[in-house]
Amino acid sequence: MKILHTMIRVNDLDESIRFYCDLLGMRLLRKKEYPSGRFTLAFVGYGDEASSAVVELTYNWDTHQYSVGDGFGHIAVGVDDIYATCEALRGKGGKTVREPGPMKHGTTEIAFVEDPNGYKIELIQAKR
């Protein structure tokens, strides 16, 4: 068994695709509209779905606001240089909600950014 994808509901599909692709560097892998169900699915990721877990962005045509809720935590992304990554994201209009630095009870360097829907993305410094 393996994880295939994580699904999140989004308010504005184009805005979310821009965030995950243009700011976080993922690729739009596929996108399909389902008119009878009034929703669109877009899959984004760093690799193809056969070998990598991806993020499914679900846009329900008739719903334009969601509550992130208190059960969802975050999506984690490994990065080579957490400080440069945060600076680059900021330069592209990204919102950093936790500046890079060591985690509270450890030494792993992390940061958090927020997508247009309020979902948290944890950036984790790759081991050097």
CATH superfamily to which 5-60 belongs: 2,3-Dihydroxybiphenyl 1,2-Dioxygenase, domain 1 (3.10.180.10)
CATH 3.10.180.10 segments of the chain: 5-60, 75-125
Residue 122: pLDDT band by 50, 70, 90 thresholds? very high
Tell me the pLDDT tens digit for each residue of 48-71: 999 999 999 999 999 988 887 877
Give yes or no for a contact between 123 and 82, defined as CB atoms under 8 angstroms apart. yes
Contacts of 65 (CB under 8 A, 6+ apart): 11
This prediction's pTM: 0.82
- Between the alpha carbon of residue 51 and those of residues 5, 48, 65, 80, 96, the distances in Å are 11, 6, 32, 21, 29
Helix H segments across the chain? 13-18, 82-91
End-to-end CA distance of the chain, in Å? 29
CATH architecture designation of domain 75-125: Roll (3.10)
Indicate whether 121 pLDDT > 80: yes
- Angle formed at CA 107 by CA 5 and CA 105, multiple of 5 degrees: 85
Chain segment 3-38, per-residue pLDDT in tens: 889 999 999 999 999 999 999 999 999 999 999 999
Measured over all CA atoms, what is the biggest interatomic distance in the chain, rounded to whole angstroms? 50
Residue 28 in tokens: 């739009």
The pLDDT, as a whole number, for residue 72 is: 83
Tokens coding 114: 């927020």
- The reported pLDDT for the residue numbered 7 is 93
- Catalytic residue of the set 33, 49, 109, 122: 122
Is position 122 annotated as part of the catalytic site?
yes
d(CA 111, CA 95) in angstroms, rounded, equals: 11
- Give tens-digit pLDDT for 68-112: 787 788 999 999 999 999 999 999 999 999 999 998 888 899 999
